[in-house]
Amino acid sequence: MDIASVPIRLARPTRDLEAARRFWVEGLGLDVLWESGADAEGGHALLMVGASGARWHLELVHDPDAHAASRPSPEDLLVLYLGVEIEPEVVERLVTCGGTRVASPNPYWQRWGVTVEDPDGYRLVLSHRSWE
């Protein structure tokens, strides 16, 4: 098994699919890869977003009670290593589309990126470092 080449799906609950769509698609610029209504198998509406051709995507599952069941911690992060300075317009667009810029409690992310909470409280770190 070549674990290095397997696709990754990160699944998260969302209380509001439209708010999630605004943040991830309009705000960050990800593509809608798939979506279904509550009539889909499993009975949950969902939205899959990602970059076309990437080997990962984010699956957002509508669960209006998710927030009451558990809250994301400040360490529930999705980190994108962009390798370039983060343009202020990107952060402004994420905030306009429902995000909240927050300070990271981790000095590493405070130094090497910009942290924005999505409408459900999960944190996105846009790092200006590169992975390699």
Total number of domains in the chain: 1
Reported confidence tier of residue 1, pLDDT bands at 50, 70, 90:
confident
Say if 132 falls within a structural domain. Answer: no
Say if 22 falls within a structural domain. Answer: yes
pLDDT value at position 115?
Answer: 98
What is the per-residue pLDDT across 114-124, written as a single tens digit (0 to 9) for each?
999 999 999 99
Q: Looking at the predicted structure, is the pLDDT value of residue 52 above 80?
A: yes
Say if 70 falls within a structural domain. Answer: yes
How far apart CA 105 and CA 109 sit, in angstroms, is: 8
CATH code assigned at 84: 3.10.180.10
Say if 28 falls within a structural domain. Answer: yes
Range(s) of the domain holding residue 67? 3-127
Interacting residues of 62 by C-beta distance below 8 A, sequence separation 6+: 13, 14, 15, 16, 17, 38, 44, 45, 46
- Residues β-bridged to residue 9: 57
